[in-house]
Amino acid sequence: MPTLVTIYKREHYPYLDLYWNWKSGRWEDATINRVLDLVKYNACIKNFMLAINLIRDARGENKQLNEILKPQRFREEPAFVALIGSYYLANGYEKNAERCCRICCETQPDIMDKYLALSVFAAKKSLKLPGAIKTTLKSRMNILEKAKGFTHIYQDFIGNRTVAIVGNAAVEVGGDKGREIDAHDLVVRFNNFSLEERFRRDYGSKTHLWVRSPSIKEVKYRRIHGLECVLISGYPVVHKPTMMWRWLDQLVADQLCFAFFSQDTYHELCKRLSAPPSAGMQFIYSLFKMRNDMQRVSVYGFDFNQSVSYQYYSRAKASNRHNWSLEYKLFREIAEVAVG
């Protein structure tokens, strides 16, 4: 069984990466070759952050990197070729992306079904795709045409309204903040939040905007009274394999507005945090960038793993794939601007 790793770019070491080794429970260094080997043999291929960081930071100028990422090396592993091709495409390297597409179409064309942007690109290049994929592609494009960006969500739903951003940390238990939270014009909640009666005194009962991470399989679709919009956090869904399409289908069927965060903001946060941002930080930072302050915004249920490491509705601990200490530091910086 291969070791599952999460990989983050270390800024001050050129082409040297830091990864969290889940087996040993500590951060470890690795050369590009070593890290790519770990990704290559991870059957779930969850370490998409490695490919995007290396390709973006190297800007195609590192010969060693280009040699490692040659899709011809992985002809027997089309899933890995599709992964690399998708992130080449995301960063504008269309020639490299086209080579990856051709290999996938020749070896295992159905793998393209998992990567929407790559499939669209292949169709534009008139590459041969199975009929079933073309049908799926059309359906998914229809879904994405209904999606909005964070800027539109801000203009249409947030604007100058008072906002309560309610995290899932157990820090508000016993604080009787429920009525205060519900008094805001807009209440934002995340992932598997709970509105059970026993939590309403401390965490309120209203939800207008639901921020949902596509990487958390346990987040089930549910109909929420008063919900106005759903925001999909994390890296844009069109550039990575996803199982969220049924979830998005349901949003369309229920005529709910849904949107994605800015790809540039996501990468900006990854660099600042040396890790993928949590859904909470992604929303707070995006809102701060739009308003340039945090006036008329209140934050509840955020601890950034400083003292309480579990959620108010369960004993589940906060994910260790995020850099909580740097998220806390960034949050303090944003709060100081708001106070100033």
pLDDT in tens, the chain (340 residues): 233 333 333 333 333 344 445 455 554 554 455 545 555 544 333 444 555 555 555 554 455 555 655 666 666 778 778 877 877 787 677 888 888 888 888 888 878 777 777 888 887 888 777 777 777 777 777 777 788 888 888 998 899 899 999 999 999 999 999 999 999 999 999 999 999 999 999 999 999 999 998 766 678 888 899 999 999 888 666 666 565 777 888 888 888 999 988 878 887 888 788 778 899 999 999 999 998 888 899 999 998 887 766 789 887 777 777 889 999 999 999 988 765 5
Helix axes of 324-339 and 279-291: crossing angle, nearest 10 degrees: 30
| pLDDT score of 1 | 27
Percent of the chain predicted with pLDDT > 70 = 72
Question: Which pLDDT score is estimated for 13?
Answer: 30
CA-wise closest residue to 313 among 167, 164, 149, 210: 167
| 3-class SS shares of the chain: helix, strand, coil, % to 5 | 50, 15, 40
What pLDDT is recorded for position 322?
84
pLDDT tens across 278-300, in order? 999 999 999 999 988 888 999 99
148-339 is classed CATH 2.60.40.420: no
Helix, strand or coil, per DSSP, at residue 28: strand
Per-residue tokens: 5 = 């790793």
Residue that is written with structure tokens 């207008």 in the block: 208
Amino acid at 86: S
Cα 112 vs. chain centroid, distance in angstroms?
20
| pLDDT for 47 | 47
Residue 106 pLDDT: 83
Q: What is the pLDDT of residue 134?
A: 76
Q: What pLDDT, on the 0 to 100 scale, is given for residue 14?
A: 32
Query: How high is the pLDDT of residue 176?
Result: 96
Which pTM value belongs to this model?
Answer: 0.74
The contacts found for 124-130 with CB under 8 angstroms, 24 or more apart, are 125/98, 125/101, 127/101, 127/102, 129/105
Extract long-range pairs of 210-214: CB within 8 Å, 24+ residues apart. Answer: 211/279, 211/280, 211/282, 211/283, 212/279, 213/279, 214/242, 214/244
Own/partner long-range contacts of 323-331 (Cβ < 8 Å, ≥24 apart): 323/8, 323/273, 323/274, 323/275, 326/272, 326/273, 326/274, 326/275, 327/273, 327/277, 327/278, 327/281, 328/304, 330/272, 330/273, 330/281, 330/285, 331/281, 331/284, 331/302, 331/304
Whole-angstrom CA distances from 307 to 110, 156, 190, 324, 325 are: 46, 36, 20, 11, 11
Domain ranges of the chain: 5-144, 148-339
